[in-house]
Structure 1
Amino acid sequence: MPEISGIIFYGRSGDELLKTVESLAQYLIKQGFYVMVYPEYDPERRETIAKVHMRILDSKAHGRGPIKEPDVVVVTDHRLLDTHADEVMSARKYVIINAPSRDIAMKVSGAGKRVIYVNTSRYGRVGRNDVVTAMLGAVLRVMGIEDMDWLRSNSTLAKLTYNDAEIL
């Protein structure tokens, strides 16, 4: 696995973002990693921004604060760039973005980070909760994990995005 120690997922509350990230955390724990997952929500309850922080370590972690400079940032809805562009740009290595066009995804390129473009709308009618699950395929690809059995058991969409995620 490459040196990925911090990931921040951006989504909308109500999209089961935390539940989906926790399923990835459980998988990584079974692989022998120490993982911490914690959510951060806006004060409003519905249709607000949800951020889920994930730390992945080889040994026990002692720091529990928010991740300031994540290795990977995952954006499940490109419209979140309007309000959180600066935070998204804090990624050190990768930005994984779900967007309808490459042009939108290219807005976050630069400064030594690679942009991974995913367009979940190409798979037909995808529910909001399915978008988050589909994004896990691109996350696993960036992490260098090729466990297709886990992908297949969690989502066909995750398997598709694992193969279709485009590095810009």
Structure 2
Amino acid sequence: MYKKLLLLIFLLLNIYGCDQNKTNFSFEKITLHTEMCLGTCPIYHLEINNDKQIKLFVEEFYIEEYFEKDISRMGYFTGKLSEKEFVYLMNLLRNIDFEEKETIEDHCCDGSLKTISIYYNRKIKVIKTMFPSEKTRGIVSFLIDVCEKDQLVRTNEKFEI
């Protein structure tokens, strides 16, 4: 009986502890940096803060059919996530394993290396991937979609990301 009681207490504390980790998640910001490939991969530097503000620097962007740079899509841009987009981002972050400080996935061949840094609870979780796995595909796709949003506004203000 004593062992069963200890096991029950241990299980309850473990469940409570796991729940605490999720409720104490304090999102600060997320960044995405993409690198060049041997083709027409764009080079993005993106930052989304906890106040939903977006900063984007597009270093290179190509018209794929012609292998020419599209200067109209390059430069500094700002914007803001909608409430719905921000909630979606927070839900995607729930699927990330924060126990590992760094997640490194497949790197090979010709693809754009994507580095995502998630700033939370005064810590940083880094994900490096060229070909996202099932567990990171959602967050990578979301961030690339933000980079390609037509609603972002060009700015003359230069900023570091």
| TM-score, length of structure 1 as denominator length | 0.28
- Structure having the higher strand fraction is 2
Greater Rg over alpha carbons, structure: 2
| TM-score, length of structure 2 as denominator length | 0.29
Q: Which has the higher contact order (CA 8 A, sep 6+)?
A: 2
- Structure having the higher helix fraction is 1
